[in-house]
Amino acid sequence: MQPHERIGEAIIAANNDGRTGLVPFITAGYPDPDTFASSLQAIAEVGDVVELGVPFSDPMADGMTIQRSSFAAIENGVTLSWIFDQLDPLQGSINAPLIMMSYLNPLLAFGYAKLASRARETGVCAFIVPDLPYEESAEISAALDADGAGLIQLVTPATPADRMKLLADATRGFLYAVTITGITGGSSGLPPDLAAYLDQVSAVSSLPVCAGFGIRTAGDVVNVGKHAAGAIVGSALVEVLERGEDPAAFLRQLR
């Protein structure tokens, strides 16, 4: 099995248990680089797949929460190579497949070939790159594919039907359905026509569909879970970390 195939398996396993797959997102090394490893282990006990955010100076698709955590992590010296180094000793102790969210430039600076091999070594199964549309993704996809990692594609409510199909066919692991037209961390709640949109996305995708953006409560997870295989929880979890509360406890009440 290729590493990226573990992602879909983990979501489907949760569904087979009668649960919505839970994908927690944290900004790596936030709020404290020293507690990253233990915090990740605790989160991975509850999450089916864990998404690690690589901090970047210009997070243009993110709202205030993830901007704040990203800038704080950079201040604390968190970089992509630091994150990989932290993951090295955790091999074997984390069962949930890991995915990484990074803007393109840190990946470009790291180098695609090295990225693919470090991903394989550290159990990172796929990447989400929010400023990399499909049309520009051939080079990095080829490099990642060579090591069994993949690129997770995003669809949004603004995506036309034919393009949705294209992205569903290209994605690895799961298809990321952005719930709102907007940035992460919105407080306006999930849109009323979410069910129809998620049904439409699920209909075109052979891989599980995970919904993200604006999912904050157990009720949101239940709502999303009726029409998608998984739910991605980002800003709400980062806020829990920001307040110094227990992330695993927060995630358990979402399950």
Partner 1 sequence: MKAVLDADEASKLLKALLAGELPDERGRFGPFGGRYIPETLVPAFERLERGIREHLPSDEFQQEYRTQLRDWVGRPTALTFAARLSERWGTEVWLKREDLAHTGAHKINNAIGQALLARKLGARRVIAETGAGQHGVASAAACARVGLPCRVYMGVVDMERQAPNVDRMHRLGAEVFPVESGDKTLRAAIDEALREWVSDPDGIYYLLGSAVGAHPYPYLVRELQSVIGTEARQQMQDLAGGLPDVAFACVGGGSNAIGLFYPLLGDSGIELIGVEAGGTGDGLGQNAATLAAGTPGVLQGCYSIILQDEHGNIQETHSISAGLDYSGVGPEHALLQALGRVTYVTASDDEALEALEELCETEGILTALETAHAYAAAKRWSRDNPGKRILIGNSGRGDKDLPTLSRYAARTSANAAA
| Contact status: 110 vs partner 1 (CB under 8 A) | yes
Of 39, 122, 159, 171, the one binding partner 1 by CB under 8 A? 159
Confirm or reject binding of residue 204 to partner 1 (CB under 8 A). no
* Interaction residues for partner 1, span 208-227 (CB under 8 A): none
3-state secondary structure the chain: CCHHHHHHHHHHHHHHCCCCEEEEEEECCCCCHHHHHHHHHHHHHHCCCEEEECCCCCCCCCCHHHHHHHHHHHHCCCCHHHHHHHHHHHCCCCCCCEEEECCHHHHHHHCHHHHHHHHHHHCEEEEECCCCCHHHCHHHHHHHHHCCCEECCEECCCCCHHHHHHHHHHCCCCEEEECCCCCCCCCCCCCCCHHHHHHHHHHHCCCCEEEECCCCCHHHHHHHHCCCCEEEECHHHHHHHHCCCCHHHHHHCCC
Interface with partner 1, residue 85, by CB under 8 A = no
CB closer to partner 1, 133 vs 189: 133
Q: Which stretch binds partner 1 (CB under 8 A): 16-24, 39-47, 60-68, 118-126?
A: 60-68
Interface with partner 1 includes 29 (CB under 8 A)?
no
Task: Of 209, 250, 213, give the one whose Cα is nearest residue 66.
Answer: 213
Name which of 47, 52, 14, 2 is nearest 229 in CA terms.
Answer: 14
CB of 14 to partner 1, least distance (A): 25
Site string for partner 1, 115-154 (x = CB under 8 A): ---------------xxxx-xx--x-------------xx
Structural tokens at position 93: 């102790």
Q: How far apart are CA 41 and CA 237, in angstroms?
A: 15
Write down the catalytic residue from 48, 62, 147, 220.
62
Q: How far apart are the first and last CA of the chain?
A: 27
User: Could you confirm whether 220 is annotated as catalytic?
Assistant: no
Shortest Cβ 36–partner 1 spacing (Å): 17
Q: How far is the CB of 182 from partner 1 (least distance, A)?
A: 4
**105: contact with partner 1 by CB under 8 A:** yes
Residue 5 among the catalytic residues: no
- Least Å from the CB of residue 133 to partner 1: 5
Kindly state the number of chain residues that form the binding site for partner 1, as judged by CB under 8 A: 42
Name which position in 59, 123, 208, 230 contacts partner 1 (CB under 8 A): 59
Q: Which is nearer to partner 1, 22 or 152 (CB)?
A: 152
242 binds partner 1 (CB under 8 A): no
Q: Catalytic amino acids?
A: 51, 62
Residues in contact with partner 1 by CB under 8 A are 56-64, 67, 71, 74, 79-81, 104-110, 130-133, 135-136, 139, 153-156, 158-160, 163, 167, 178, 181-183
